Chains A and B, each alone.
Chain A
Amino acid sequence: SQQGEEDPQALSIQEGENATMNCSYKTSINNLQWYRQNSGRGLVHLILIRSNEREKHSGRLRVTLDTSKKSSSLLITASRAADTASYFCATALRGQNFVFGPGTRLSVLP
């Protein structure tokens, strides 16, 4: 099964609302990263949070990490139609490369 799994699988909200996506993983990690994928495009890196960090911000994005629960959340505040995309978490196991979750499809309705 996937090391990182996002929840929910799909999310529809109105423009201006906040969107929260969650990621759970199974084993100890070095760091966790969030990526966005617009339709027909490659993945774009959003935020990297290290295992000794609890929260990180970047513009309208806020990422939290709870290593005791093996979970992370991505909050997008004041969403825009341009935020419509799939969002993936990726976990880096010690000495190994990324394992991506199946993603959350976010639709922001105007």
Chain B
Amino acid sequence: DTAVSQTPKYLVTQMGNDKSIKCEQNLGHDTMYWYKQDSKKFLKIMFSYNNKELIINETVPNRFSPKSPDKAHLNLHINSLELGDSAVYFCASSQGSGGNQPQHFGDGTRLSIL
């Protein structure tokens, strides 16, 4: 009965490849997020979707493309992976946007680029 689940947990791949990370939440929330956490633990928001609509799109290379097929799912596709993309990517969800409610996080996807 995991609330926010991400797959895969680990992703090791070569530079230049394309990969996807999937996220699903069963909390009934209407807002989902993608965050990137670097090696120094800085957590930066990348994207936010509310009811399948993109509401936050921070300065992220257009190699990163989020897709929300429904309110419970938010996937992240990355094209032409680069060494600097190595990080932990977290999916999160909340009820409502605007930062007025707690966010629930998945356990992260550890992406390593060789």
Contacts and interface: CB of A to CB of B under 8 A. Distances in A.
Interface stretch (A40-48, A53-61, A71-79): A40-48
Contacts of B78: none
Contacts of B92: 42-43
Contacts of B99: 30-31, 90-93, 96-98
Contacts, number: 62
Contacts of A95: 98
Contacts of A25: none
Chain B, interface SS category? loop
State which size class the interface on B falls in.
20 to 34
Contacts of A41: 107-108
Nearest to A43: B105
Chain A, interface SS category? strand
24 contacts: A30-B98, A30-B100, A31-B99, A37-B41, A40-B107, A41-B107, A41-B108, A42-B92, A42-B106, A42-B107, A43-B43, A43-B105, A48-B101, A86-B41, A88-B43, A92-B98, A95-B98, A96-B56, A96-B99, A97-B48, A97-B99, A98-B103, A100-B44, A103-B43
Interface of A: 2, 30-31, 33, 37, 40-45, 48, 86, 88, 90-93, 95-100, 102-103, 105
